[in-house]
Structure formats: structure tokens, C-alpha cells
Amino acid sequence: MMRHYLQIKDQYKDCVLFYRLGDFYEMFFDDAKEVSALLDLTLTGRDCGLEERAPMCGIPFHAADTYIARLVALGKKVAICEQLSDPATSKGMVDRDVVRVVSAGTLIEDELLDERSNNFIACAYKSGEECAVAYTDITTGEFCVSSFSGGNCVSEAGENLVKLSPAEIIVNDEFLLAARDCPVLKYNSLPSFSCYVPWAFTVRRAENSLLEQFQTKTLAPFGIAGKDIAISACGALVEYLRETQKHALKNLDGLKYLNGRKTMMLDSIAIKNLELTKTLYEGKKRGSLLWLLDKTQTGMGARLLTNLILNPLNSREEICFRLDGVEELFNATVIRIGIAETLKGIRDIERIAGKISNNNLTPRDCENLALSLAIVPSLKFQLTGFSSPVLMKIVSELHELSEIRDLLKATIVENAPVAVKDGGFIREGYNKDLDEFRRIRDGGAGMIAEMETRERDATGIKNLKIKYNRVFGYMIEVTNSFKDKVPYHYQRRQTIANAERYVTDELKEVEEKILTSEERSIKLELAIFEDVKSALADNISKLKELAQAIAFLDCLVSFAAVSKERNYCKPQIGPLGGPLKIIDGRHPVVEALSKERFVPNDTTMDGKDTSIMIITGPNMAGKSTYMRQTALIVLMAHLGCFVPAKSAEIPVTDRIFTRVGASDNLILDQSTFMVEMTEVASIILNATPDSLLILDEVGRGTSTFDGLSIAWAVLEHLAQKIKAKTLFATHYHELTELEDKIEGVKNYKVTVKEAAGTVIFLRKIMRGGANKSFGIEVAKLAGVPAEVTARAKEILKKLEKNDIARGAAQTEEIAVSEEEPSLSEIEKILSELDLDNLSPMQAFMVLSDLSEKVKR
């Protein structure tokens, strides 16, 4: 046995080997030493033919899932070596072999997975200046691939991996080497890469693996025919899964090639800064856009919603296709609430289909599937009144699968058990033989009592008894005083002190029936269950399509519910490069979390007269909130969701870039300024005229004059070369001079009011540049002691009097100061005022501001 253990271990050197011995999984040698320390198990020893006893530790087989989960969480792989033959009938050693390798990306147990999140395993492959990333979730059957080319291919592949957050990543040697110098892969927390065997990535081997997996003769239907880089990544991933899972993976029956798909590009920085799936500092779902929009009722819908948020559309037709469906659901409140209630009753069909494929389906899953399929006709009926193409398409994909539903209802009992080993899950009346076995099993005592009465009457032995002994089974016991009445056909089995025990052929038959009925009934139940699983396996593709339709409907209902509850409006989607016009826009998450009334603001950028908004104002006034809300409104529109505004005209946008906040990354040896400049460089190199840029405090991470120079140069480049719609928040008031120098640049400020030595933030965005920073007043609000802020005011007065800062900063290029605004700026502000829509307070603020500028 130990020789066999070592042979198996040699095949799975990178795994902890769980070796089944009876009711335990045992580990030996180095595995035992390591696992006993990791899991706090008792380390013992076992004789193994060597001079020293083999170190050993073990766990009960019925508790294995818990221990496997802990090992996987610690980054280990676990190879499960099972007993393949019955110890009772085996001659010699029991047959054993590895039936599955469990790793972070191949978990299939419900209790180890988050129902509302995918558990992706990814394969990244590099060859020359080409990369591909393939990924799948074996519990749902989702299988996708993207390819990248050019000098930035590793970085783009890395962005893709960061967005996916896979639980496990396998790579080829070339990708592993390139990843060491890739900032995206170095500075984002991803699981350690695992190199896979080179031959699995060869195009011919990979293509054959995929053709065999999909049962096709060509890869053309999946869009990757001739795309060697994508084929290699996908084929290697399938090879790895076959090697570790040891079965056919029937739910991996198709593949999506994502390149050229109509989705907006979002890099990891934008995903993080806009807090799309988790908050920036605490890393929690609450406070993210996903948290706000997630009113889904099913695990399938929740997983899809995350995917939709990370991959917004950038096709006008596709966006409007979704929006029309959301609008219908938005307007049909009563029906929408009814649909949401109906969806609550549907279980995770997508993962049940995965369980059918992975052969870990339970009777409870079958019962849940039957209940879910029974709800589908009701769901279709609720959708009959809708006419939008997207909802009609969903209806067409809601397969009722009545034959499967009827089969499950006929075979599986209500409140079915999770485990199959004890039987009791096949419905009475489905199989006559099974019913007979159960009748015998449950009526064994009655059969023996009936036989006992019959034998007493036939023999005249009044104290005749039929007793059971674990060694000899059932026997007829007759006391010595009645021995002379024992019939000839009784066969003596045992002599005891006061009696003799006998058996008869009839008793042997009854005993056989009683003692084997339990075992035979369980075997027959398992055989029936195998037939049920086989019927389900033939319908995996339809179950997946049904699950995807329900998940998509769940997301649209969620969008409509949030939009109605929060009073959002349907955005008008314009073409690429069209104007961006948001009236009374609000930050969706801040508004939802704030106890105060949110102050709405307009955003208007036509890409010509206004393509860059320079936004000035003190800290805490709301600059960052305003810029983020603009980005989120644009992104929500691209999801096909209503947006938090009075009205919105949103152009199709190819990418959203962000440079928000600043923080040192000391662990990874990156300064604040280095982080900032890396993000700015990415924006300058990748932005297009159809992108939306959010830049907050560019240049803040270095000295005042270096920072001002960089911010000035970046603004000039964005305005003159890239011409993308840009919101640029800054404390460098000198930058407001660019409005007179560069076409398309406009100054805006967040209004504040001074009162009694403090500032009141009005949160309103208006035309013009801020007059002062109010830094000292904000410091006072933040709780800085009065003596410190008083001293700061003294120092500020001396600096202003000596004009230290201004004298040092002034150059020929920056000729006009903020303290002396040109008359043209005042004229521009007046010419752009919309007096019909100006409130009295706003008019007073504008007049006060202009008066102050003219006096100075």
C-alpha cells in the first residue's frame, strides 16, 4: 500500500495527496508534516517497511470538504485518491486512484462557493507580441477568451485578469517571465501564477482538445478559427481541467470570443476609483455601484450583474435594446413587482446544470430544479404583455422543459435529502421493484411474526419463537421440553443451555429478503438516479440557455426597480463624439447613503466649445463627487440603466479613464507621485476623442512649481491633441488662465459661502474660477486647533504681502494671474448666463463674484 501511495504521489508532486483508507483520508511523509502544522492535526506514524515509521496524519472522509476548503484557501492543491473497489469483495489490495484535483479555481461544492459571485479559473498565454486570456467557471459553464497584440499586450492581458479576479491562474513560461516587469500584474493582488506544461499550449494539441470538448469539426462557430493565440490559451485550459477533474465537463459546450465585442474598455484603475464593485478604502460591497444596483433575486442574476457593470456596452443599438426593456418594466410597476416575487422562487439553475456536468448533483438539487421549472410558465405569462424586443427575446429563451420537470416530479420526493448514500429520495409508486423492497424492509418484523404464529399452529409448540442473532441470523428457538415435537424439515443450527435453535428453507428465504432488501433498495434507487442524471445531462445546453435568460431578466428588473425607487430618468443615447448633457445630475451612491438632500448639478460638454472643464474650489466642497457622478452616469447609461438626473443626453463612449486621489504604495515601492504619473501616462497614451477623462489634482504629489508645470502641460496636450471630454479638478488657480488661451477649455467652480470666519459648502457647480482655496477654513472644520489655524493665517498674509509664491512661479508663458482676471473672462461668464433658469440666490452669488473680480 505504501509503495502504491508513493507511486501516486510522484504523479501529483504539486498537490497534497488525500489517500483514502477506510473511513479516513490519510497523508504521509512531507504532506503529513505540512498539513498537520497547517490544520493543527495530530502527527502520528505508521510502519511502512523503512527503518523509521512514516509520518502520518488523517481526517474523517465525511468531513473532508471543510479541510479541503482550508487548504485551498492557503493556496494548496488537493489530489483526492479514492477507493475504487469494495473492500468486502476485493481480492488483495483495494483499487485506488486520484478521482479529482481540487484547487481554488475548480471548487464545485456549494458550501465553498459564494452564490452571488463567479469562481473563475484563467489561463494566460504569451507568444511573441501576442497574448490571450481564457477563463471559465466550471460551476456555470461560462467560457470566454480575449486576445491582445502589440507592445502593451501583457499589460492589457493583465488588466483583463485584474477585472476578472480569478481564483486561479495558469500560464506558460513566457507569460510568467513577462509578468515580472508588468506594473498591472506586479501591483495588483492576483493569485500566484502556476506554469502549465508547454505541450498543452501547442496549437494542434489545443485545437484538438477544443474540438473534442465541443463535439464539433471546426472552431469557426466560436469565432476563433485561425486565431492561434486564443486557441492555445483555451485548449490548454481545457486540458488542465480534464487532467484535474477527470470527467467530460459537459457544461463547457461553447466559447465566446470577446475581441471586437461591443463593450466599453475599463481598466483596473477606473474600476477601483469609481468603486464599481467594492469601495476604495474598505474593499466592501456596500457603498459601491454594484451594491446600489443589486436588487436581483437569483444568484444567476447577481453574477451576471457584476459582469455587466464591469463590461458596459459601447454599441448604441445594444444600449437602446436594453433601455427599451428597462423602460417597459419601469412603467409597469405592478407587473415588475410580481416578476421579482416570481424570480425569488427560482433556484440557481446555472449551477445546477454545472453540478449535472460535474457529477455532484444531489436529490435536493433535482427537487430545486423541478420547483424552478414549474415556475417558468408563470414567468412567461407575466411577460406576455410586453412588446420591447429584449423582453420578447427573453420569453423565447424561457424553455419550459416540461418532460424534465415531469420526470423530476415523478421520481424525487419532497424535502429530498442532500446525500444519496442512505436512499429514501425516490418517490413511492415510481418503480414496483423498489416499492417491494421497501415493503419487505419495512415489514420484516410483521413477516417474522406471521411465520412464527404459523409455525406454532403447525407444530403445536406453544412457546416456539423466532429470534435474530448477528452471527447466525434468524433462527427458530424450541425449548428442550418440546424437542420431541420438532418437525423433520427443521435444520438444527445451535444448541444453548435450555433450548435448541433451528432454521428452515422458508426462514432462509425470508431472511435473505429482509436482510438484502435495504441494500437492494438503495442500489435500485442509485440506478434510477443515474437514469435521471443521464436525462438531465442531455438537456444541459437548454438549461444553460434558460438560466441565462432568467439571469438577464433579473438584471433588467433590478435596473428598473432601482430607477423607479430612486427617481432616475431614461438617458438619450447619442453617437460617438456627440454632446454630453446632464441636467440635475446626482451621484447615485452618495445620494443613497447620505441623510442630507443631495445638491444636483449640470454637466454640459459638446466636445467643441467645451471639451475640458477646469474645476476649482476648496477641499470637501464636492469636486471629486461631481466628477465621479458624471462618470457613473455615463457608465450607467452604457449598462442600459436609467440614470440619476432630471434629463441626460449621453454620447457613446469608448473608455472612461480616471486619475482620482493619491496614495503611497510603500509595500510595492511606489511613491504618491509615481502612482499618479503612471496613471496619467496611461491616459495620455490610450485616450481617444470619444473617451471620458476624470482627472483630480494632477501634479499634487510633487513640489508646487513642478506640479503646476505638469498639470499645465497635461491640460494643453489633452485639449490640443486628444480632445477628449475631460473633467479636470485642481488647486492650481493659475490653470484657469487656459480658458483664454486654448479653445474648448472652460472654468467652473464649486460655490462656497463665508460666514462668521468659517465656510459653508453650497455644493453647486458654476461658471468661473474660484477666488481662494479656503484651505485654512477647511482645516478649522476638520478639527485643527485654533492656535494652529490662526498662525497659518499670519503666515499666509506674509506670503501674500511678499508675493513669494507668485514671484517664483511667474514666467513668460503664464502672464495673466488669477488675482487680476481679464475683462474677457467676466464677459464670457455674463454671456453664458441663462437668466431664465437662474435662481435669486444663484444670481446674487454670480453678481457678488463678478463684483469682487472687477474691484480687484
Binding site residue list for ATP: 617-624
Cα 300 to Cα 329, 346, 390, distances in angstroms? 19, 10, 18
Question: What distance in Å separates the CA atoms of residue 368 and residue 759, rounded to the nearest whole number?
Answer: 60
C-alpha count within 13 angstroms, C-beta hemisphere, residue 108: 27
Question: What distance in Å separates the CA atoms of residue 474 and residue 656, rounded to the nearest whole number?
Answer: 80
Backbone angles phi, psi at 539, to 5 degrees: -120, 20
Q: Which of 221, 301, 229 is nearest to 254 (CA)?
A: 221
Question: What distance in Å separates the CA atoms of residue 336 and residue 328, rounded to the nearest whole number?
Answer: 9
Quick one: 708 exposed, middle or buried, by C-beta within 10 A (0-12, 13-18, 19+)?
buried
Question: What distance in Å separates the CA atoms of residue 434 and residue 527, rounded to the nearest whole number?
Answer: 11
Question: What distance in Å separates the CA atoms of residue 488 and residue 630, rounded to the nearest whole number?
Answer: 100
- Which residues partner with 494 through β-bridges? 501
Quick one: 488 exposed, middle or buried, by C-beta within 10 A (0-12, 13-18, 19+)?
exposed
Residue identified by cell 471546426 is 218
Residue identified by cell 497547517 is 38
Write out the binding residues: 617-624
Please count the other Cβ atoms lying within 10 Å of the Cβ belonging to residue 212: 13
Reduce the secondary structure of 169-188 to three states and give it as a string: EEECHHHHHHHCCCHHHHCC
Dihedral (C-alpha) 386, 392, 396, 398: value to the nearest 10 degrees?
-60
C-alpha count within 13 angstroms, C-beta hemisphere, residue 612: 30
Strands 612-616 and 745-755: parallel
H-assigned helices in 460-486: none
Maximum C-alpha span of the chain: 136
In this structure, are residues 190 and 162 in contact, taking their beta carbons and an 8 Å threshold? yes
In this structure, are residues 482 and 461 in contact, taking their beta carbons and an 8 Å threshold? yes
In this structure, are residues 668 and 187 in contact, taking their beta carbons and an 8 Å threshold? yes
Quick one: 840 exposed, middle or buried, by C-beta within 10 A (0-12, 13-18, 19+)?
exposed
Question: What distance in Å separates the CA atoms of residue 59 and residue 8, rounded to the nearest whole number?
Answer: 19
Question: What distance in Å separates the CA atoms of residue 304 and residue 274, rounded to the nearest whole number?
Answer: 19
For the chain, how big is the Rg over CA atoms in Å? 36
In this structure, are residues 123 and 164 in contact, taking their beta carbons and an 8 Å threshold? no
DSSP 655: B
Question: Who contacts 326 (Cβ-Cβ below 8 Å, separation ≥6)?
Answer: 556, 559, 560, 563, 570, 640, 641, 642
> 3-class SS at 718?
helix
* Residue 142 parent element (H or E): strand 142-149
DSSP string, 617-650: --TTSSHHHHHHHHHHHHHHHHHT--BSSSEEEE
